Amino acid sequence: MRRTYLFSILALTFACTGNLGPANNLSGTWSANYSFPGSSLVLTLSQQGPSITGTGTYQIEAGRAGTLQVVGSYRAPSLNLTLHYDSQSDAVYVGTVQDASHITGALNGYAVPLVRQ
């Protein structure tokens, strides 16, 4: 009985502190995992408590490229970001942190997974 209890505690501890649970800090570089060539989105995020700020670059397939500013919030596992593009347009990213290296989400309603670099 004690071994089963101890194993359960250890399993929960590793699940919460390893790559199995949502990340506690999203600071770092994240990139979109697009399935078509010529498009990219790279975000460099900084987290202070639940607040997220950052910068980024984007490339649209056969189109515009530029920079952007990021503001948002993170309350595990939910991530909400507003991307302010240099073209004076905004986009909203709503995601769920899967683990320390993966976020599933949507940018203005289109599926855009992010991967930590």
pLDDT at 85: 98
**Backbone torsion region of residue 11, taken as left when φ is above 0, otherwise alpha when ψ lies between -120 and 50, otherwise beta:** alpha
| Average pLDDT for 6-25 | 53
| Average pLDDT for 69-95 | 98
Is residue 62 over pLDDT 90?
no
State the chain's mean pLDDT as an integer.
Answer: 87
User: What are the phi and psi torsion angles at 24 (to 5°)?
Assistant: -85, -25
Percentage above 90 pLDDT, the chain: 72
Q: Which CATH number fits domain 23-116: 3.40.50.2300, 2.40.50.100, 2.40.128.120, 2.40.50.140?
A: 2.40.128.120
Distance separating alpha carbons of residues 68 and 84, to the nearest angstrom: 5
For residue 78, the cross-strand partners are 75, 96
Contact criterion met (CB below 8 Å) for 89 and 81: no
Is residue 95 over pLDDT 80?
yes
pLDDT at 79: 98
pLDDT at 21: 63
pLDDT band at 37 (very low <50, low <70, confident <90, very high): confident
* Both structure tokens of 26: 């999203």
